[in-house]
Each structure stands twice: as C-alpha cells, then as structure tokens.
C-alpha cells in the first residue's frame, strides 16, 4: 500500500476521551486511493476495517479493535458558485471547526451555529451533526462515498443519505459506506440562523448580529459548558453530549411533564422543556431529565464522572477504563428511566465494545 500499515497501535491518544485499547493494525489515509487500498488490504486478510476521523464521538473498548483502523487524513476545500448558492466541498479529513471558521470569514451562512464542534468534516453527515438550531442536513448537497460492497465511488444526494435526528444511512450501515468528502450549499451574505432560544437570547442586545458575532457567541456558550476542546479544561476528555435528546410521542411527553410537576420538579407541567419534533412527536431535553433524575454535575465514579459544567457530558479524568465509563453511562440512563419512564440513547459510536456490554466483557 502507498501508506504503511502499523501494528499494535494505541487508540486512546487518537480519541478525545483518551480511553480504549489498541488497534491490531492502523493505516493513515491521506487520499481517496489510500482509502481504497486500505479497504482492499483488510478484505484480502479477512479482518474488519473501522474508519476513524477525529475520535471526538468514539468510545473504544478496553480490548481495542481486532482489525484495521483507517484514519482519515485527507485535506482540502474547494469553493464554487452553483444554483444561486456557494458550494464548498471539504475532504473527509478537514478539521470541522477550521472549515466553519473559513465559511464565516467568507460571509457564507449556513454553518455558523455549528462552530466549536470537534472532529472532522467527514463525520458530520454520519451523525447529522447539529447544535444551536442548525443541522448539517440542512446544507448538505452531496456526499462522496466509497461503497464497501464493490469499492465503487459515488456521489449521494441528500435524500439518499436518509438524514434524521443525529442519524443517517451512514450511521445505520457503517459496514457499507465510507465518506470521502462532503459538499455544502451556503448563502453568500446570508443572515445567521437564530432559531435556538439560548443563542437568540445571548445575542438579544445586538440589533444586527453578523455571522462572526454569532460564531463568537456560540463558541462562548460551548466553552461555558466545556464543549470546546481545551487542554486546560478538566472536563476536556469527553465525547461531548453522551446521550441524544429523546424524541417521544406527544402523549408520553404530557405524562412525563405531569409526573415532573407532581414530584415538585417544576412549578407546573408547562415548565418542562420540550419542542415539537414532527407530527405527534416531541423532543425532550436529555440534560434536564438527567439532572432531575438525581444525577449531579461533577459527581464521580473513580476516574470517570459527570462534567462539572454539563450533565450530558461524561468525562474521563485520567487513568480510567472504558468499562467504568459505560457503567456510569448506564447508571445515568437507568436513573432517568426509573424517574421518568424514558430510556436515553447514546450518541457516540462504539468500537470494540457495545453499549450494553457487561462490565469486563468484550471491552
């Protein structure tokens, strides 16, 4: 192969959690050709291949990954005007926040609320990354992929990506697709998106917020929650939000709100935070549920714990294990289920372990 395959490589330093074991094999993929070569190499040897980006949304098991890790390092951005909008195509290995900063500096609206999110551009369609009122699905115009079944390269239109809340065809079928590049359609001179209340409130004193001030405000909000990678932050070892906000039927949300009021957690049922999420569906706040279930910011279980700034973030304080982190995550999940009857779902991708792996098993 054009890139050397290394054996027995530690994975923890390649993730923001800094947890997990070693990869049996690892190869850097700085080009599309390198990705294809890596996939063929793994197939010829009968070993699984896992695609690794920035490691910011990955939980690696303590036993590591018994296969080939393909680390996406391809860089590059290209801008073009098409159909009345500016298209920017980013290679999968482009650092996401660098791309966002570039688009904001160019006066291109559409990604500004996604500032400060760690990781690489190629991961954004997998999770349908979103924050502060924007999701990448709103601006994605094409995703360039490798189909693992036959090694062919294709450009997928948005409808083929089957985007949903923190979900996509790529997440549902990771064994099929590898994202090589993503094309976004942005609005030259467009106004910032201010549909998220916390962001809108933070900018309320600005009569005409710009893309730049919106980005700066998002970064400040994220920093206050330890959601920006900072080497000096004791909460830095995390995957950000560990759980997604649950989307439930409207009647389930009503019953939950009534229960919260009956328990004295809010003055009235109407005070429970929730948002419309489609016909007959309601999105709840996972962070709110976690805190009202008795989970306290800053609580610890040895070397892992809950962030001191955000109940949705589970953190590794150093010297811990993935098994301990998952045990804590299940404790949080079970506390919410016991109090509210809603089961939280994890947001990160699990490698060499599973969400419900018993302590000490397959991790």
Q: Which residues form the catalytic set?
A: 166, 241, 347
* Cα gap 228→56, rounded to integer Å: 11
Which residue pairs, CB below 8 angstroms and at least 24 apart, start in 84-88?
Answer: 85/185, 85/186, 85/187, 85/188, 86/185, 86/186, 86/187, 86/188, 87/141, 87/183, 87/184, 87/185, 87/186, 88/183, 88/184, 88/186
Q: Token digits for 121? A: 């551009």
* Cα gap 302→292, rounded to integer Å: 23
Residue entry with tokens 């004295």: 264
* Cα gap 192→200, rounded to integer Å: 10
Which residues have a Cβ under 8 Å from the Cβ of 150 and sit 6 or more positions away?
none
Helix locations, the chain, DSSP H: 32-45, 96-105, 124-127, 158-161, 169-172, 197-202, 211-224, 250-262, 286-292, 322-340
Cβ atoms within 10 A of the Cβ of 56, count? 19
3-state secondary structure of 153: strand
Residue length of the chain:
363
CB 79 within 8 A of CB 86: yes
* Cα gap 342→199, rounded to integer Å: 27
Q: Is 2 exposed, middle or buried (0-12, 13-18, 19+ CB in 10 A)?
A: exposed
* Cα gap 239→57, rounded to integer Å: 5
């Amino acid at each position: 192969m054009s890139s050397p395959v290394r054996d027995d490589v530690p994975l923890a330093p390649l993730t923001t959690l800094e947890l997990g074991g070693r990869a049996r094999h690892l190869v850097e993929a700085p080009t599309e050709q390198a990705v294809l070569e890596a996939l063929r190499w793994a197939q010829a040897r009968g070993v699984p291949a896992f695609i690794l980006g920035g490691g910011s949304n990955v939980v690696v098991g303590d036993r590591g990954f018994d296969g080939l890790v393909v680390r996406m390092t391809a860089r590059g951005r290209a801008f073009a005007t098409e159909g009345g909008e500016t298209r920017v195509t980013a290679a999968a290995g482009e650092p996401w926040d660098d791309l966002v900063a570039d688009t904001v500096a160019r006066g291109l609206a559409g990604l500004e609320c996604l500032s400060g999110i760690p990781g690489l551009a190629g991961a954004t369609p997998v999770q349908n990354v979103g924050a502060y009122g924007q999701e990448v699905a709103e601006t994605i115009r094409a995703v360039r992929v490798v189909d693992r079944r036959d090694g062919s390269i294709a450009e997928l239109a948005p409808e083929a990506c089957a985007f949903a809340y923190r979900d996509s065809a790529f997440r549902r079928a990771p064994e099929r697709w590898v994202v090589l590049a993503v094309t976004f359609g942005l609005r030259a001179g467009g106004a910032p998106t201010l549909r998220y209340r916390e962001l809108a409130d933070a900018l309320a004193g600005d009569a005409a917020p710009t893309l730049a001030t919106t980005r700066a405000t998002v970064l400040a909000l994220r920093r206050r929650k330890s959601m920006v990678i900072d080497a000096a932050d004791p909460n830095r070892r995390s995957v950000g939000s560990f759980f997604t906000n649950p989307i439930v039927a409207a009647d389930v949300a009503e019953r939950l709100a009534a229960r919260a009021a009956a328990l004295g957690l809010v003055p009235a049922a109407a005070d429970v935070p929730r948002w419309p999420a489609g016909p007959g569906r309601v999105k709840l706040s996972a962070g709110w549920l976690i805190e009202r279930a008795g989970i306290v910011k800053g609580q610890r279980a040895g070397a892992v714990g809950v962030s001191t700034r955000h109940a949705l973030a589970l953190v590794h304080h150093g010297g811990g294990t993935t098994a301990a982190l998952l045990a804590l995550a299940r404790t949080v999940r079970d506390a919410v289920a016991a109090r509210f009857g809603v089961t939280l779902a994890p947001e990160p991708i699990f490698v060499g372990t599973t969400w419900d792996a018993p302590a000490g098993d397959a991790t």
